[in-house]
Every structure is written in structure tokens, then in C-alpha cells.
Amino acid sequence: MRFISFLLLVITFQGAAQQSSTIKIGLFDPKVTESGMILGYEGTSPIDERLEMGWSIDWFNKSYVDKRLAEQFNTNYANDIGELNELRAKTNLHGFPVLSVLRVNIPFDQRTQFYVIGNLGLDFLLVYYRDFNNPAEDDWQLAVDFGWRLGAGVKYKIGSRSDLFVEFNYHNSEPSWEYEVQEQATLTTPARTRVFERSYDMSGLMARVGIKYFY
């Protein structure tokens, strides 16, 4: 599925001579953490009077304590229950979905259009996390997953080459990776590596406003 998404993005980049640009800003509420601001850019070109095709990229950032991981640490390292395991579970996410775009425009009057929009592509998640044995230090990992998005909106023409719009979407993806903890040997147990799966459910709703301008 990731390979198909990559091919779709390549075809979109090569096949669409970009004729409009869109700047978006709004709120995103993924399941993995609390809601926060999301910024986006979209470039599209018309296929005909109703259809547009292009690509998009967004940026979402949030710092939080991974409660699920902290609970796993509390279960496996009972002597460290409390602030230490919460410190180990501190996480800073930077999400960069890169998606193809297909939009269907539905005219309402001379200035107003409704539209539905669909996206497919890859969701890149740059994860900064705390080192288990030295929680004061950060490390990082890149997680990738197939992502899709469905939405609808309304846009209003404010000039000959510019539109204002409001848009609502549902985004779906869940990047993940395996987090290894190196356990030192003790008097009763040998040194070993314990593996925890860290997954980030980025599925959720977003609401955005923005401006679209034409070349």
C-alpha cells in the first residue's frame, strides 16, 4: 500500500502542471494526543470545469506524555512507577502528511462553490522521545504509514484570482515503530533487550480556513 501511495504521488507531481496554490490553517484533533494547530499547503490544477488534481503537505506539532507507554513502563518496571516513567514517556511529534489531492467542485452561484475532497498518500511522523536510561536526553525516530483523508468545504470568490474557504476533514493513519530498551544485567537476571511497540493513531477530525489563489 505504501508503494502504491508513493507511485500515486509521483504521478500526481509529474502529471499536474500546478495552476493554483492554497494556504490552510486550522485545528487537528488526532486520537493520540490533544488537538492543536495544523498548517497546510496545497497545489492543484484543473482537469475540467469540475475536477482538480494535485498534491498537499501539512505540518502538525504536539508535545505530550505517552500515557500508554508510561503504563507499559509501570507494568514492567514497577520500581520506577511515577515521575520517572512519565519523564521517559515524554514525546514530541512532528507530522508531515504528503498526499495526492482530488477535488470535485459543485457550483452554487457565481461566487460560491461547495466541494468534496479526497486524499491518499504517506504520513511521515518525526518522533522525538526520551532515552530510557538517560531521560534527560532526546532521541528521534521517523515512522511512516499509509494515510487517507476525506472532506468537504465551501469556497467564496473574493477576486478574479482568489478564493476564501472553510473546510472540514477526517484524516486516517497510524504510523508505528519498535522501541528497544537495553536492560542491564543484575544479580538475578542477565542483560537483555525488551521491545515495546510505539504506535501513533493520527486519525481524527480537522477544521481549517484559508485562501486559494490562481496563477
Could you read off the pLDDT of 108-117 as tens digits, one per residue? 998 999 999 9
Domain count, the chain: 1
Quote the pTM value.
0.80
Q: Read off the pLDDT of each residue in 116-134 and give the average, rounded to a whole number.
A: 87
Looking at residue 136, which CATH number applies to its domain? 2.40.160.20
**Using one digit for the tens of pLDDT, what is the confidence trace for 86-105?**
666 688 899 999 999 999 99
Identify the band that residue 52 occupies on the pLDDT scale cut at 50, 70 and 90: very high
SS (H, E, C) the chain: CHHHHHHHHHHHHHHCCCCEEEEEEEEEEECCCCCEEEEEEEEEEECCCCEEEEEEEEEEEEEEECHHHHHHHHHHCHHHCCHHHHHHCEEEEEEEEEEEEEEEEEECCCCEEEEEEEEEEEEEEEEEEECCCCCCCEEEEEEEEEEEEEEEEEEEEEECCEEEEEEEEEEECCCEEEEEEEECCCCCCCCEEEEEEEECCCCEEEEEEEEEEEC
Q: Given this model, what pLDDT does residue 3 score?
A: 47
Q: Read off the pLDDT of each residue in 189-203 and give the average, rounded to a whole number.
A: 77
Q: Read off the pLDDT of each residue in 5-20 and give the average, rounded to a whole number.
A: 54
Which residue range forms the structural domain that includes residue 27?
A: 2-214
